[in-house]
Structure 1
Amino acid sequence: MNDSSIALRIDINLDRQTLTLAGPAGEVLAEYPVSTGLNGAGEQDGSGCTPRGDHYVRAMIGAEQPEGTVFRGRRPTGEIYSKELAQAHPDRDWILSRILWLCGRESGRNRGPGVDTFRRFIYIHGTPDTEPMGVPMSHGCVRMRNADVIDLFQRVKPGTPVTIR
């Protein structure tokens, strides 16, 4: 991470199921496939939808953890994701490798009572590499391949603007 990350921005396109990292002049620095909310776009608490609008990265979790680290409640469990672990816990919603916790910027839309992205625990995070990308499958978060979320994590910092459209 370097000081140039201040001018970076993240754009998440729900229709295309992509996350684009753009530079200061809007140039595309990286584009990654993602998986967003199975229930589509929406901001209501408990909806399982991915919130739209302007956000920012409020917190970044997992910087020193190995790839595949399993998180529960934003804390590493001490486990590393494996096929055997997945078989032992078939109903877990896997949050792996890194977490970029989002906060809404638009009062009444994605910030505040009933619609608060931060209080809904909406993240950009890693998921098992067996999970499909390019298809909405999450509970509202933005899922990425582990190598991709680690790459993104290394390029940005808290405060990085995020637009979900």
Structure 2
Amino acid sequence: MTDTAPTDTTMAAIAEAVTAGRSGDPDGARTRLLALWEEITPTGDALHRCSLAHYLADLYPDAAQALIWDVRALDAAAALTDERAQNHHASLQVAGFYPSLHLNIADNLRRLGSFDAAREHVEAGRARVDALPDDEYGALLRRALVEVGEAVEQRSTEARPTAPTA
């Protein structure tokens, strides 16, 4: 968050829940995020919806449940503006969200055996990698897109060992 931006209590609550999930309490994190979703509503702030749905998807080991939240995150990103994202943090660009969003959808579709649809999302993610930073995070996403693409071509439905829910 920038020094001049007011504290966004919803984003702070999302971050707290994500931290809990990554610290070994995925059920508690999922419960907290679902309660926040009820407050945000499906037509609420696009940054809140996109962030919450993106992180919540990672808390579901079941590909179908994760896919529902990943699609919600992608839909919210379409309604998100750079201005709104940068109001939260000056470095954010909505274009940089898309490679990860498409990657997650592709991976879930692949795990469900929908290889053609998965391939389309891998390609959509690859088409937007130029929006990623040239850092460790960008490299991680680029590698993951290659990994998922290879798994799609192999028609593998196995969970990736490097996936967030692994």
Q: State the TM-score, normalizing by the size of structure 1.
A: 0.26
**Considering only CA atoms, is the larger Rg found in Structure 1 or Structure 2?**
2
Q: State the TM-score, normalizing by the size of structure 2.
A: 0.26
Which structure shows the bigger proportion of residues in strand conformation?
1
Which of the pair has the greater relative contact order for Cα pairs under 8 Å at 6+ separation? 1
